[in-house]
Amino acid sequence: MRDPVRSRARKPEKGRTERANAGRGNGAEELTERVRSLAESVLARHDAELVELAVLRGRTQLVRIVADRAGGIDLDTCALVSQQLSRMLDADDPIAGRYTLEVTSPGLDRPLRTPADFRRVLGRRVRIVLAAAQHEGTLEEVGEDRVRIATSEGQVDLPLAEIAKAKVVLPW
C-alpha cells in the first residue's frame, strides 16, 4: 500500500525572499481558497468531495485534505489525490517553503454539518448537540434548514443553524 501522506520539501530559489512571495497567496484566506480550488479540481476527477481543508502555517506547515465519496474513499484514491495535488501545488507554488500534504478519509465518526451530510446517514442513529441540549435518536428526515430525529421521548425537529455538533452513533 502507498502512503497517502507526502512530505514536500522544496529548496528556495536563489535570492527568493518572503517579500518576493507578496501577492502570491500568502494571506491566510487567499492561500486557503487557492488550495481549496486546486484540491476540489483534483477530487472531482475521482468523484470525491472535499469534506474539510486545513492549511496550518508556522514552522512546520501542514495542508490537510479530508475527502470522501459515495461508498467511501479508499487508501489508493487518497494516494492518487495526494500525488496529483502535490504536483499541482508544486506548479502553482502558493505555499512558501516546506510543507506536509496529508490526504485522508473522514473516518467513521465523520462530523455531520450540511444537509447532504445528514442525508447520507438517513435512518441511522445520531447524536446532535445544541448550545443548551443534546439529543440522540434515529435520523428520520432532513430538510434544507432542519432535521428530525426520533428519540425515546418522541420526534424532535432541530434547526441546522442551532446544531453545534452532530455525528453518527457507532454501534460499539
Spatial contact of 86 and 3, defined as CB atoms under 8 Å apart = no
Residue 39 lies in a domain: yes
Residue 12 lies in a domain: yes
What pLDDT tens digit does each residue of the chain (172 aa) get? 334 444 444 433 333 323 233 334 447 788 889 999 999 999 999 999 998 899 887 788 889 999 988 888 899 999 999 999 999 988 888 877 788 899 999 887 788 888 888 888 889 899 999 988 999 999 999 998 999 999 999 999 999 999 999 988 887 7
Q: Indicate which CATH number applies to the domain containing 142.
A: 2.30.30.100
Its domain, for residue 148, covers 115-168
Alpha-helical segments (H) within 68-113? 75-92
* Strand, helix or coil for residue 26: coil
What residues contact residue 91 under an 8 Å CB cut-off, 6+ apart? none
Angle at alpha carbon of residue 136, lines to 134 and 137, rounded to 5°: 150
Q: Indicate which CATH number applies to the domain containing 52.
A: 3.30.300.70
Residue 95 lies in a domain: yes
Domain shared by 79 and 128, yes or no: no
At 121 the pLDDT is 85
At 82 the pLDDT is 95
At 141 the pLDDT is 93
Domain shared by 45 and 76, yes or no: yes
Prediction pTM value:
0.62
Residue 147 lies in a domain: yes
Residue 96: how many CB atoms within 10 A of its CB? 19
Domain shared by 85 and 162, yes or no: no
What residues contact residue 24 under an 8 Å CB cut-off, 6+ apart? 93, 94, 96
What residue type is 81 in one-letter code? V
At 155 the pLDDT is 95
* Domain's final residue, options 74, 104, 134: 104
Q: Which long-range contacts (CB under 8 A, 24 or more apart) does 131-134 make?
A: 131/162, 131/164
Domain shared by 123 and 80, yes or no: no
Domain shared by 94 and 125, yes or no: no
At 29 the pLDDT is 85
Domain shared by 72 and 157, yes or no: no
Domain shared by 99 and 123, yes or no: no
Spatial contact of 151 and 135, defined as CB atoms under 8 Å apart = yes
- State the DSSP H helix or E strand holding residue 65, giving kind and residue range, or none if neither: strand 61-68
